[in-house]
Amino acid sequence: MRKSFLLAPSLLSADFSKLGSELIYIEENGGKLIHVDVMDGHFVPNLSFGAPVLKSLKGKTSLPFDVHFMVTNPSDFVKDFAEAGAEYFTFHIEAAVHAHRLIGLIREYGMKPGISLVPSTPVSVLQEVLPFADLVLVMSVNPGFGGQKMIPECIEKIRQLKKIREEKKLSYLISVDGGINSQTLPVAAEAGADIIVSGSSFFSGELRV
Catalytic residues: 37, 177
Q: Is 179 annotated as a binding residue?
A: yes
Paired residues of 76 in beta bridges: none
What whole-number distance in Å separates Cα of residue 15 and Cα of residue 91? 25
Answer positive or negative: Cα dihedral of 24, 22, 188, 38: negative
* Residue in 80, 148, 159, 209 binding ligand DX5, rule: CB under 6 A: 148
Binding partner of 74, given ligand DX5, Zn ion, none, CB within 5-8 angstroms per partner class: none
Should residue 177 be labelled a site residue for ligand DX5 when binding is judged by CB under 6 A?
Answer: yes
In Å, how far are 24, 164, 172 from 161, measured between CA atoms? 32, 5, 9
Q: Is 140 annotated as a binding residue?
A: no
Closest by Cα among 120, 117, 34, 42 to 76: 42
Should residue 175 be labelled a site residue for ligand DX5 when binding is judged by CB under 6 A?
Answer: no
Binding partner of 13, given ligand DX5, Zn ion, none, CB within 5-8 angstroms per partner class: ligand DX5
Q: Side chain identity at 154, as an amino acid letter?
A: C
Should residue 178 be labelled a site residue for ligand DX5 when binding is judged by CB under 6 A?
Answer: yes
Least Å distance, CB 204 to ligand DX5, is 9
* Residue in 5, 6, 7, 13 binding ligand DX5, rule: CB under 6 A: 13
Instruction: Give the residue nearest to Zn ion (CB).
Output: 68
Least Å distance, CB 137 to Zn ion, is 7
Q: Is 41 annotated as a binding residue?
A: no
Q: Which lies closer to ligand DX5 via its Cβ, residue 19 or residue 170?
A: 19
What whole-number distance in Å separates Cα of residue 192 and Cα of residue 1? 13
CB 29 within 8 A of CB 202: yes
Chain centroid to Cα 66, Å, comes to 6
CB 178 within 8 A of CB 150: yes
What whole-number distance in Å separates Cα of residue 92 and Cα of residue 3? 28
Q: Which lies closer to ligand DX5 via its Cβ, residue 10 or residue 84?
A: 10
Chain centroid to Cα 181, Å, comes to 16
Paired residues of 88 in beta bridges: 66, 112
Should residue 177 be labelled a site residue for Zn ion when binding is judged by CB under 5 A?
Answer: yes
Least Å distance, CB 43 to ligand DX5, is 10
Should residue 68 be labelled a site residue for Zn ion when binding is judged by CB under 5 A?
Answer: yes
Annotated binding site: 10, 35, 37, 68, 144-147, 177-179, 199-200
- Binding site for substrate: what residues are annotated? 10, 68, 144-147, 177-179, 199-200
